[in-house]
A and B are shown apart, each in its own frame.
Chain A
Amino acid sequence: MSLLIKGGRVVDPANGLDAVSDVLVADGAIVKVGKGLKAPEGTEAVDAKGKVVCPGLIDIHVHLREPGYEYKETIASGTRAAAAGGFTAVACMANTLPVNDNRSVTDFILAKARVEGVVRVYPIGAVTRGLKGQELAEMAELAEAGCVAFSDDGKCVMNAEIYRRAMEYALPFGTPIISHAEDEHLAHSGAMHEGLVSTELGLLGQPWAAEDVMVARDILLAELTGAHVHIAHVSTAGAVRLLREGKARGVRVTAEVTPHHLLLTDDAVRDYDPNTKVAPPLRTKRDVEAVLEGLLDGTIDCIATDHAPHELSQKEGEFGECANGVVGLETAVPLLLDRLVRAGLMDLPTLVQRLSPGPARLLNLPGGSLAQGAPGDITVLDLERAWTVEPSRFRSRARNTPFAGFTGTGAPVMTIVGGKVVTA
């Protein structure tokens, strides 16, 4: 089955391309990118005039919740949400039930994804058994089963000795360790960022130092072991500074940032809306400016949504008792196209880089490029498409977003995985 995408603005940063071209896909792979391509018999044609055509976007931090929390999300609903959001691949975290700390869970996830997944699914295995932070998970077997990285995300591995051993142990597999940097004691279950807003709201906050202390530790452990450590959901100015210094010293540390940490501050919490309760919490304007600067200069390597679906009852009621997390797959690309690209803060090729080849390279995933032979994963964007965030129309099972009612211009309009269109 072949597909010819005609006349779109092809933005392929991995190959230095940003020009109006055609893209030909066949047998699930990119055949050729060029002007005036002729399609063989039986090729489906897609008119992309006025649109942007780029390598499929990849979200390397997603919670698909299956197995165990299917009432929040499933592999089926989560990947449908990903496709609607313009993503052709997601990497899913290990904090399922049971935890993905042994290959039977990895096998289950991959099998489900093969049958019900709408986009590519790459499992991330646990660092420690049960995410308890005490004993190493069987990482060799997990890697063999198909895990692309290891992470206890949701929790921080508090014991530095255990974490060091995990980094060393995983070295031969080439799988990065993804770090949820949050000192449990300093953070003391603070429901939001510690500052003027938390003081006025009477809510317990967690200081920026709870994150920075662990970012510093993780960078030093990476330096000690030579491991590739990837810091998840960076949110503070201090963390960006530490990353910059670490990278300058040659440490193999990389980082990601979420759309909500690029766009919202702790002022968003003033109404006590539980849809603004996230970990790490929404921070100050200074932090938002710093992470954007870090994303622009490459200190932060990619954008990842940390899509964290929750059921309604867990995001309604007393703020301090609600679950942490917001969904992101369906809101990320539209928001970033409007609030970063359209606003002139970031150019489109850089955004595509941070959402496609960037993440692909970090986890050694196929994709991120439209070179010949690359997977036929493509995202088509319409920079003029007007949108309003309507949670009731999400493909995800969950509705917990802080962006309900937001409007903007620019959205994904078609997602293609392995040469097949998976959205309208």
Chain B
Amino acid sequence: MTAPKQKAEVLDGAGLDRALTRIAHEIVEQAGGADLALVGIKTRGETLAGRIAEKIAGIEGQRPAVGALDITLYRDDLGSRAEQPQVRSTEIPFPLKNMTVVLVDDVLFTGRTIRAAMDALMDLGRPRVIRLAVLVDRGHRELPIRPDYVGKNLPTSRKESIAVMLHEHDGQDRVVIQESPEE
């Protein structure tokens, strides 16, 4: 399989950081002082949640609780693939009751991942409210899911894909659109 062809850079390192800063402010404003938790969806959502938590610490003087969620066991496409997807562990070391939980993911696409994440959260406890923060919303929703905080809206065609690179994983911070065949 050939590497996907990069078409355009959508966010550079600085742009990405500004987007996260704005999201952090929006989360704090809407939370209004309530108990806040960020739950990042593995793998890059977890990294983004960590960064947003740092920024919130800078704004409020207090870091919100941060957890990481692996949604593999809640996927709606298990059993229709030749191999089972790899299961990673979930780490949410705080009770969810009465919490304002903000789910954090890198790209919002069909909405199925978020649906799975909500089912997982419900099995783990009963948050007071769940909100959604994504770095990129690329459209093409297949379920009635909408984000509360968006870094960048990016209409794409189905033939394209979004690559979010973060220096913790990929050595650099940027977001690009790629031409690639559907899996």
A and B touch in the complex (CB under 8 A): no
A residues adjacent to B (C-beta < 8 A): none
